[in-house]
Structure 1
Amino acid sequence: MSSKTFTQKEIEVLRTSPYVQNVSQSMVFFSASFKEQFWKMLCDGKAPRDIVIALGIDPDILGDNRIAGLKAIVKREVKAGKGFRDYITYTGGSSNYMSPEARIKYLEQQVEYKDQEIAFLKKIVSLGKGDKDS
């Protein structure tokens, strides 16, 4: 993480980018599509600073440390072979990375649980209606 904090104006500028999913004074989260394009251009031999410019981000706002960190993060995600992470996978209910398959399974379980809750509530409501008719 860079020690440079963003000003409110820099935060507003970063938020205008379709590639920035979230930004605070100290951190910026890029979309998976940004990282994918960054990686492709990096493989084509472009410099990280030039890639950031090509993708519409002001490199002076990010600073050299963040750009170097972004390169390292993208390389690490490629090496892991699980796809590029975005803000949702960083904050999606777990502090650990969830593979897309694990995330789908987790969400399916959540939906099933909600269905059970709804069925239970319907039974309670129907029981309550029977008491009023008596």
Structure 2
Amino acid sequence: MGIYSPEVVEILKQSPYIENVSEHVIQYGDAFKQEFYCLSQQGHKPKDIFLSLGLDPALLGSNVIRSFVRSMKDFQPKLNQAGQPISITRSLIEKDEEIEKLKFEVKFLKKKRLIDLGMFPKEKPNDTTLD
């Protein structure tokens, strides 16, 4: 593998998909491997997958990508109950949406409880008359 400049190392450290990076080695996290597997099964090209996951192929070089693709031959993806590979990015997006809905529901239920207990401050009516 190539030698990476300190600037490239710093850029790669920012990626949530990189577990560890040095001037000589890049260690990809399980999330990257899972997403790469899912996207490659859908017919996407390796360079396009790297780019879509925020890793610039121009920074890494073709040899690094080819080496990664070879290393993926033995990768065992995480599967759902139907035996299909799980897209981590999609499931994380769905989880984030669910968390936001639950936060809204909790806020609503807290207000409702305060109203039921008579502890919620009454809103002042809007006075639209001019003095």
Q: TM-score, normalised by structure 1?
A: 0.55
Q: Cα RMSD between the aligned structures?
A: 1.3
Partner of 1:70: helix, strand, or coil? helix
1:77, CA displacement in angstroms?
Answer: 2.1
Counterpart in the other structure of 2:88: none
Query: Residue 65 of structure 1 aligns with which residue?
Result: 63
1:52 pairs with 50, 53, 56, which one? 50
CA distance in 2, matches of 1:69, 1:41: 17
Distance 1:69 1:39 in 2: 15
> Distance in 2 between the 1:8 and 1:21 partners?
17
Which one has a larger percent helix, Structure 1 or Structure 2? 1
Structure 1 match to 2:20: 22
Q: Deviations 1:7-54 (Å, cap 9, x if unpaired)? A: 000000000000111001111011101000001101111000000000
2:32 aligns to what? 34
Larger Cα-atom Rg:
2
Letter in 1 for 2:74: R
Partner residue in 2 for 1:74: 72
* Cα distance in 2 between the residues matched to 1:71 and 1:16: 22
Deviation of 1:61 after TM superposition, in Å, equals 1.2
Letter in 2 for 1:67: I
Q: Using the alignment, how far apart are the partners of 2:73 and 2:43 within structure 1?
A: 14
- What is the TM-score of this pair, normalised by structure 2? 0.57
- Please give the alpha-carbon distance, in whole angstroms, between the structure 1 residues aligned to 2:34 and 2:70: 13
Identity of aligned residues (%): 31
State the structure with bigger RCO (CA 8 A, min sep 6), 1 or 2: 1
Inter-partner Cα distance in structure 2 for 1:72 and 1:40:
16
